[in-house]
Amino acid sequence: MPAAFDDLWIGQVASIGAGVVSEEDLKSFCKTYAPSWKPEDGLPDSLIFAFWSKLESEAAASWPQTKRLAVDALRWMRNPPAGELLKCRLTIMGKDAVGDAKGVVIAQHDVLDEAGRLVFSCLTRSVFQRNPMAPTE
């Protein structure tokens, strides 16, 4: 990534970033947005979603993606502790051309912990520009 609609293939996997949520950031987030959450229980689901959303938005800024249609099938599997490296990736699950100028891409997004265990996943549907030089389907 980034790639135009016609350059993507089903099964393609791309990294969309990695990062660490510090203990300080966790406590600040909980104080403001999840006051009933105990930081010793790890990252709350809402912070995991915000973490993924930030990395995905930063990565997508350079893609020929013109619109996000949906984020669904959200799954939270575990709440890792602060300070753990979290990695985000996407896998192209499907694509459908919509005329000569655009296409819809369905992707699965995963957040993995340091051990490679699934922390969070979701599906997205997005509109991507088509490559003007690609043959029409």
Domain contains 16? yes
**pLDDT-derived band of residue 3, with 50, 70 and 90 as boundaries?**
confident
pLDDT for 9-34, tens place per residue?
999 999 999 999 999 999 999 999 99
- Number of structural domains (the chain) is 1
Q: Give the number of C-alpha atoms closer than 13 A to the C-alpha of residue 9, restricted to the C-beta side.
A: 2
CB 105 within 8 A of CB 92: yes
Domain contains 134? no
0.85 exceeded by pTM: yes
Domain contains 137? no
Domain that holds residue 87: 5-129
pLDDT for 54-107, tens place per residue?
999 999 888 888 889 999 999 999 999 999 999 999 999 999 999 899 999 999
> Which CATH number does the domain housing residue 49 bear?
3.10.129.10
Domain contains 136? no
CB 59 within 8 A of CB 34: no
The per-residue pLDDT for 36 is 97
Q: How far apart are CA 135 and CA 26, in angstroms?
A: 49
The per-residue pLDDT for 55 is 95
**pLDDT-derived band of residue 135, with 50, 70 and 90 as boundaries?**
low
**pLDDT-derived band of residue 136, with 50, 70 and 90 as boundaries?**
low
